[in-house]
Structure formats: C-alpha cells, structure tokens
C-alpha cells in the first residue's frame, strides 16, 4: 500500500489534545500543502488565520458573545454551559487554523467550485499533519460567520470562515471505520 494511501486511512479526527505547541515548521508545511489544493482557473480562493496564545482568549470571548445571542435561554444554567462549551472550542488545542473562503474577482470563477477548493485545502493540511505526527479536527458552522466574530478575526467583505482546524498532540488513538466503497459506488459503462 502506498504511503499516501496509508496516511489517508490512518488520519483521524482526534480530541483530547494537550498543551504541547506543534513546531512552526510543521504548521508551515500544513499551510503550504493547503495552497496546493486544485482550484479551477487558479483562483486560490482561500486564506489561513493561525491563532495561538492570547489571541485564543480574545476570540473565545467574541465567540461567547455570539453564542449568547444564539443559545436558547442564555442566562439559564444550561444556557451558560452551552455558551462556555462553544467559547472553549478555541482551547481544544494550542493552535487553531481558520480556513477562510475568499471570493474571487475572476469573472470565470464559480463560487461553488471555489468553496470545494477551500475544503480540499483542509484535507491537504490534515494529511500533512498526520505525516508530521500531529492530530487535527475539522469544525464548521454558521456561528463563525456572525459579524461580531468575523470582525474579531479580521475578515473583510464577503470572506467567510469555511472551517477551523484545531492542531496539536493527543494520546488518544482512534481506529477508523468506513463503509466499503463498493456499497457507495456505481459503475456506468453504457
């Protein structure tokens, strides 16, 4: 089996990351791999925001403010727990990479194709992280595109958070399980 295929099969979303900060060189390799995602018309419709240190505190506070407006009964005990849990997403690992969709001004660009390319950047980054011995997760959702949080991240215009990727080290070892491809594949030859 090829190295690439093994990396794909071994990569898992893993939580429980510790505070050990990954080397900047490993993060940089992940980011470079992201830039090699295929994209129609070479629009490169992405940018990356790498969040570490005190920036996590600042963004966590902004995320909690957004969550307060979105959680049912935010002042109740259960509402406060939900808000805290949402805000703590910025502390799942010592490094969080926000993967941002940047609309192209190329008249040939198709936003659907460009968004697909942005998703592929995340896969490329996760595969390199696996090779670097790092663990990752993929998180997404509309809460990251509420104006208050977008402003805290420094997004402009129509840029949008497509996903965020906690990156770090975990002692959890998850085994993968997938439906056999034969059950999800149709061959057409006529």
- Residue 107 falls within a domain, yes or no? yes
48 falls in which pLDDT band (50, 70, 90)? very high
- Residue 114 falls within a domain, yes or no? yes
Q: Which pLDDT does position 10 carry in this prediction?
A: 77
Q: Which pLDDT does position 157 carry in this prediction?
A: 96
Do the annotations mark residue 13 as ligand-binding?
Answer: yes
24-47: pLDDT as tens digits: 999 999 999 999 999 989 999 999
Q: Which pLDDT does position 175 carry in this prediction?
A: 74
Do the annotations mark residue 104 as ligand-binding?
Answer: no
The CA distance from 68 to 47, in Å, is 28
Pairing of strands 46-51, 95-101: antiparallel
- Residue 105 falls within a domain, yes or no? yes
Do the annotations mark residue 46 as ligand-binding?
Answer: no
Do the annotations mark residue 178 as ligand-binding?
Answer: no
Asked if residue 165 lies in contact with residue 96, where contact means CB atoms within 8 angstroms, the answer is yes
109-139: pLDDT as tens digits: 999 999 999 999 999 999 999 999 999 999 9
- Residue 101 falls within a domain, yes or no? yes
Q: Which pLDDT does position 1 carry in this prediction?
A: 65
- Whether residue 9 has pLDDT greater than 90: no
Do the annotations mark residue 90 as ligand-binding?
Answer: no
- Residue 85 falls within a domain, yes or no? no
46-59 burial code (b ≥16 CB/10 A, e <16): bebbbbbeeebeeb
Task: State the residue range of the domain holding 99.
Answer: 22-53+92-169
Scanning the structure block, which residue is given the tokens 């057409």? 188
- Residue 81 falls within a domain, yes or no? no
CATH number of the CATH domain containing 40: 3.40.109.10
Domain count, the chain: 1
Q: Which pLDDT does position 37 carry in this prediction?
A: 96
Nearest to 58 by CA among 146, 148, 185: 148
């Amino acid at each position: 089996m090829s190295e690439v295929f093994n990396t794909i099969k071994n990569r898992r979303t893993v939580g429980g990351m510790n505070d050990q900060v990954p080397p900047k060189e490993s993060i940089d390799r992940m980011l470079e791999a992201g830039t090699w995602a295929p994209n129609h018309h070479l629009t490169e419709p992405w940018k990356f925001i790498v969040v570490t240190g005190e920036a996590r505190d600042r963004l966590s506070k902004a995320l909690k403010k957004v969550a307060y407006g979105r959680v049912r009964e935010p002042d109740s005990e259960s509402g406060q727990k939900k808000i805290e849990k949402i805000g703590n997403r910025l502390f799942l690992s010592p490094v969080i990479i926000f993967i941002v969709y940047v609309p192209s001004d190329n008249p040939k660009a198709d936003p659907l194709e460009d968004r697909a390319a942005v998703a592929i950047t995340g896969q490329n980054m996760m595969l390199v992280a696996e090779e670097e011995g790092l663990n990752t997760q993929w998180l997404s959702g509309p809460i990251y595109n509420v104006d208050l949080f977008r402003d805290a991240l420094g997004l402009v215009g129509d840029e949008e958070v497509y996903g965020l990727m906690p990156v770090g080290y975990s002692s959890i070892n998850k085994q993968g399980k997938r439906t056999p491809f034969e059950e999800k594949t149709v061959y057409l030859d006529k």
